[in-house]
Chain A
């Protein structure tokens, strides 16, 4: 077991594990967000549950944050090593598009855009949530914590975020890049853990559905709230 994560294969294995975790998280995230399209009440209930459940707040949320940080830090480390392996002289002519996809060659670029988006996303939702709940100490989730029947605030806050066309624009760009990241990443992660077998062909089909479908749903939700506000 010793030294596994000091090896190239071990690091890629760890990278893939963090990626699997993030891909499962995305499914959960989009499912909850999607309820906001058809049921304000359900969305509020779920948001309140996720935002106040001690297991999710105390255990899952830290794991998620560590997972994201691990993923992009490891991404930077791998990329730095790979650049060093390339050597100092570049090819005068390199027909990279003849043998590999743009997505596969630009994981760092798509990752960086996602990271920039995550920064904004954290600022928009997470910092706000943390401030309200843990600094101001308002765990009620109500629009007005002093009025018991003022209703949950989550849905209204979500709607508010998608009024600005600039923010919706940023949202769309980031999720297009996430789709590109996943179009390579989904299958890559399976290959990294050594899964390349008779199911791989079918999995490739599913990966297209997942990689385009999940980001498309996120975009749909943002655009929906923007135009129905």
Chain B
């Protein structure tokens, strides 16, 4: 396949940045999207040009490192996958593909397609954990009986890989799906109850401080999320938050 790539190039955080066109030929439909970018970078390096910086790590859809806004959608046009799982067979010979970084004020661009998602880390640090004594007498989590329905729902929420596609797709740059998933995975389990009130209050406070927008329930996040995280998690967080506000 022969393609034209329109890629966002930006030297550093303070550079203005612009879209640059790159023709690329002999792309195999069996390549992954990131392999295609590897080929482009090899060509750029051989020509003595600066390769395109992009995030990636596991390349199998589990780490949440890869990002990219491809043809106007986070993780590209396919559903239920990350960019590293996107294949070139989703595109046609002669296509023009627009590749941009995830955009949000809370995700500033570091270089080219790489954005700083440490705002997510700070939200996690604010309460996305349970405090368990690991001094040698830890109780096996499996020893606590848990309702199967809740366990499943918790597991589904825990599938969030923190990629930020939800924020990138949202017209309000809201992080509610991510935070909703992180709050829900604990809210549904007995281990999460002890710190439940502080958790939701602190995580939402941090979310707001990082400058993410207000959810207007457009549902774009749920559609673009590679892990199929449901809007139910946002509603659950809203309940947790409203109840916690009354208490604390």
Contact = CB atoms under 8 A, between A and B. Distances in A.
Given A87-B105, A196-B232, A13 B238 contact: yes
A145 B204 CA distance: 59
A8 B215 contact: yes
Given A85-B172, A85-B212, A91 B103 contact: yes
Interface residues of B, number: 49
Contact of A9 (B169, B204, B246): B204
B246 A194 contact: no
A194 B207 contact: no
Given A9-B242, A86-B105, A191-B234, A93 B217 contact: no
Nearest to A188: B217
A209 interface: no
B211 A93 contact: no
A7 B216 contact: no
Interface in B161-194: 169, 171-174, 176
Interface residues of A, number: 42
A82 B171 contact: yes
Where chain B touches its partner, the secondary structure class is mixed
12 contacts: A1-B246, A7-B204, A7-B245, A8-B174, A8-B208, A11-B214, A82-B214, A92-B8, A99-B220, A100-B220, A196-B234, A196-B236
B20 to A, nearest CB: 11
Contact of B223 (A85, A86, A100, A184): A100
Nearest to B222: A99
B235 interface: yes
Interface of B: 6, 8, 17, 19, 69, 71-73, 77, 98, 100, 103-106, 169, 171-174, 176, 204-205, 207-208, 211-220, 223-224, 231-232, 234-239, 241-242, 245-246
Given A8-B208, A95-B73, A196-B232, A85 B106 contact: yes
Contacts of A191: 217, 231, 234-235, 238
Contacts of B105: 84-87
